[in-house]
A and B are shown apart, each in its own frame.
Chain A
């Protein structure tokens, strides 16, 4: 029989394989969505996630993906996924590894201390529109090379 610590580690490892449905290669762990993980002695698991933005359309898909990978772990009996309303998500929760993947893999910059830099040339960007293709992204323009940049904020 494995300990709850071992089981928690196994669950975290499984969760790190769940990517954001719209950002392949970036896991929900690295985006900072995991807020709480409760593991009971009977194998009952309760996972608390915080959405990047409330009303995010990917929540159902994320919850399904999470349940699928965690249910595969042998010692797990039930999985409950809940979306928490607090604390609020912010880009500060995005890890350095995820930031690098967003920049290099998808060309998305992450806003840090109120500013973002171009994934192509590193120059500071300026906001063109606060509304991008998703709620968590704005549209910027690089002040150096002129690249159209999406910024996670």
Chain B
């Protein structure tokens, strides 16, 4: 009698060094591969953070559907909400496939405050101008980060989703730029309104990139991130500082200046305590946002139940 050996569907590596060599050689890891646990856990955490952030970002956007000025803006906000929630959906599927946590566990952890989402969704968006600042500055920061991950991402399923997310975020940028122009070229009241929003959002957007990367950053070694945080942050500063100054806005950083030799924009020291508090779910708006998200989730349980019934009709 012969026993039928279930063939392993994925690839295996003999040691951590072999796996690292595969990664260094621009190898792409797939879902069914026997990847080292450290890689699996770290990449999972990264994708979970991204998924959580898309979901929390989508819900933030959603708050503004009824309050967006005019039908065109409402359609744009509605569509962005669908984009973000759709991205979260795709990312949760890819994350769950890694076998670290089930999708329901990720959702439970998020609403119980046990997991993380990006710092920018821990602050209140006070006026419509805040939403514009988020669309213009935060979405740009997110796009720069995502482009850097996409460039050489070693985890195939994530890279293939990122390709489409980036295409859509590019379209969001167009909206953000158009909305910013409305404020920049608008009345003095509009100009002042955006300035106040900028005062609130400059630092959180800047901190989205995180503190300077350490030389032993595993995510860089595993080719998830392609560039250190400080390089990405600087890329964003070099693009947006001159644009905002050009539109007549004041950037809330007294030390901000242009280096006379390199002609590059130089920012002042950053107080990272805000980032640490936000990522520990202790930001100024963390409790309200997590509470709201959990309540929305509970309120829409009937929709999920109804859709399950469609999938599995009663006999």
A interface, CB within 8 angstroms of B: 21-24, 55-58, 60-61, 106-108, 120, 128-129, 131-135, 137, 139, 141, 146-148, 150
Contacts and interface: CB of A to CB of B under 8 A. Distances in A.
Chain B interface size band reads 20 to 34
Given A129-B89, A146-B32, A148-B157, 13 more contacts: A21-B170, A24-B170, A61-B171, A107-B163, A132-B86, A132-B89, A133-B86, A133-B87, A137-B86, A147-B160, A148-B97, A150-B90, A150-B164
B174 A61 contact: yes
B72 A134 contact: no
Contacts of A132: 86, 89-90
A135 to B, nearest CB: 7
A150 B171 CA distance: 18
Contacts of A60: 72
A139 B76 contact: no
Nearest to B92: A148
Contacts of A131: 82, 86, 89
Given A107-B163, A134-B79, A135-B82, A22 B89 contact: no
B143 interface: no
Contacts, number: 77
B94 A148 contact: yes
A148 B82 contact: no
Given A57-B76, A107-B164, A134 B86 contact: yes
Nearest to A59: B75
A61 B179 CA distance: 13
B285 interface: no
A66 to B, nearest CB: 15
Q: Shortest 10 CB-CB distances between A and B: which pairs?
A: A133-B86, A57-B79, A21-B171, A148-B93, A133-B83, A22-B171, A132-B86, A57-B75, A107-B160, A22-B168
B65 to A, nearest CB: 12
Nearest to A21: B171
Contacts of A148: 90, 93-94, 97, 157, 161
27 contacts: A21-B174, A22-B168, A22-B170, A56-B79, A57-B76, A57-B78, A58-B79, A58-B171, A61-B174, A106-B163, A129-B307, A131-B89, A132-B89, A132-B90, A133-B83, A133-B84, A133-B87, A134-B82, A139-B86, A139-B90, A139-B93, A146-B31, A147-B157, A148-B93, A148-B97, A148-B157, A150-B164
Interface string B66-105: 0000001001101110111111011001100100000000
A126 to B, nearest CB: 10
Contacts of A55: 75, 78
Contact of A134 (B83, B157, B160): B83
Contacts of B174: 21, 61
